[in-house]
Structures are given as structure tokens and as C-alpha cells.
Structure 1
Amino acid sequence: MKKLSILVLSMTMSFVFANDPVKDLDAYKVAKTEAVNVSPFCLSIAKGDYEMTKKMIELGTEVNQFSEGMTPLMYAARYNRVEIIKLLVANGAKLGTKDSKGFKAVKYAELSGAHEAEELLLSL
């Protein structure tokens, strides 16, 4: 009798969950953004991942390579990544490089309100 009760209960539960439709799928939708071809190196800088940035430099990533029109130093300045700016400059990043608009890294810091990055870049 006990086994029969357990069997009936498990069959009932299976039926209940199997026929329970998911009603609100909108809560699971993910907002998609436009795909951009920013290099993994510049993405790690924008995210502020110091260790990944350092490791990529150690593995030979070029610190002055443009990605979507900006240098890694410009990304670091734009996102106020002061420690990463120091890392990039210590490893050969050029402060005077301009993008197609004529902006240097310090201009990106200024435009983004990244005051610490701007101060650092002006002091170098």
C-alpha cells in the first residue's frame, strides 16, 4: 500500500509539472547590444581587468594596436583605468598617438569625465 501511494504521488507530481506551461518568458529575455569588433585586449582594459591586461602584454600583445579606431591607452583613459594606464605606459604605450578625429588619450579622459585618468595623463 505504501509503495502504491508513493507511485501515485510521483505520477501526480510529474503530471502537474509536465503540464505547467511557462507563462512569463519575457523575464528571461536578454537585451542584446550591437556587436562591435573591439579586440579582447581592449575589452579587458575597458572592464578594468588588470591581471588579464598584464598577462596579455606578457604574451606579446601590442600596446599601441588600434581597435575600433582607438588605442588601448585611449580605452584605459575613457574608462578611468588609472592602474592600467600606468601598466600600458610602462610597457611602451605612446601618449601622443591620435585617432582619426585627432583625439589623444587625454581627450578621451576629459570627454568621459575620467578626472583621475586625465590628471595622470597630463602629469606624464
Structure 2
Amino acid sequence: MNITINLNLKIMKKSVLTIMVLFLAITTTNASSKNIKRTEITTRYADVSPFCKLIQSGNYEAVKAMIESGVDINKKSTGLTPLMFAARYNKAKIAKLLIERGAKLKVKSDNGFTALKYAQLSKATDALAVIEEALNS
């Protein structure tokens, strides 16, 4: 009887160890893939110009100050113009400022989209209205 109990305990230990190893392997794989994705997002965000980061965050006063200091309002960052960033993130007030200061409305991104298209794709209704008004005037 002792032999049977010892044998059963050995089998249970092996089963538990196997399950633990599998669990750790799955957990580690998921964690490392999440880290890769997080790194890719961070890297993409890190490549965005400071001017376009300000637009993304909606910092109107800082954007205005940079325009007044001579920043190129049509210079692409990660393939998008500043107006495209304003459109994509629904920053209507900033979009209006950029347009008033000479942002080009019909320029296409590296993906072939205009600021208008980015506003449509992002369902950025406020920015979309500003861009459509500028295109129609």
C-alpha cells in the first residue's frame, strides 16, 4: 500500500510540476509579447516631433508659441503633417490655427491620406468641420 501511495505522489508531483512549467511558459510568452508591443508604441511615439506631440496633447498655447517662433507648420513627422495630427486627435482649435497660419489642406500623408481623411477615419467631428469649412471657402 505504501508503494502505491508513493507512486501516486510521484505522479502527482510530476503533473503539478508540468502544469507549473506550462503556466510559467505561457505567462512569460504573454509578458514578453506585451513588452514588445509596448516598446513599439513607445518607439513610434518617441519618433513624433515635439511640435506634433504638443498638437496631440492639445496644448494650444505651446503650439501657437512654436508657430510664432517659426516652426514649419507643414513639416511631416512620422509621415503626417501637423494638420493631420490635429485632425486625427480632434484638436479643432489647433487645426483652425494651423489653417489660418498656412497649413496645406490637400497634402497627403505617406499613407496617401489627407487631413480631411484622417478626421473622417478618426470620427473627429470637430476637426472635420473646421477642415471642411476651410476647403469650402
How high is the TM-score relative to the length of structure 1? Answer: 0.72
Deviation at 1:35, TM superposition (A): 1.6
Residue 106 (structure 2) pairs with residue 89 (structure 1): no
Bigger helix share: 2
**Percent identity of equivalent pairs:** 48
Alpha-carbon distance, 1:42 to partner = 0.2
Q: 1:35 aligns to what SS in structure 2? A: helix
Task: Tell whether 2:50 aligns with 1:40.
Answer: yes
| Structure 1 partner of 2:63 | 53
1:34 CA displacement: 2.3
Task: Return the alpha-carbon distance in structure 2 between the equivalents of residues 123 and 58 of structure 1.
Answer: 24
Alignment of 1:2-41 (within 5 A): 33-36=41-44, 37-41=47-51
Q: Which runs of 5+ in 2 are unaligned?
A: 1-37
Structure 1 residue 96, shift from structure 2 partner: 0.6
Total equivalences in the alignment: 94
Question: Would you say 1:117 and 2:127 are equivalent positions?
Answer: yes
Q: Does 1:106 align with 2:113?
A: no
Q: Give the CA RMSD over aligned residues.
A: 1.3
Q: Unpaired segments of 5 or more residues in structure 1?
A: 1-30
Tell me the distance in 2 between the aligned counterparts of 1:121 and 1:90: 11
Q: What is the distance in 2 between the residues matched to 1:71 and 1:80?
A: 14
Equivalent-residue separation in structure 1 for 2:126 and 2:88 (angstroms): 11
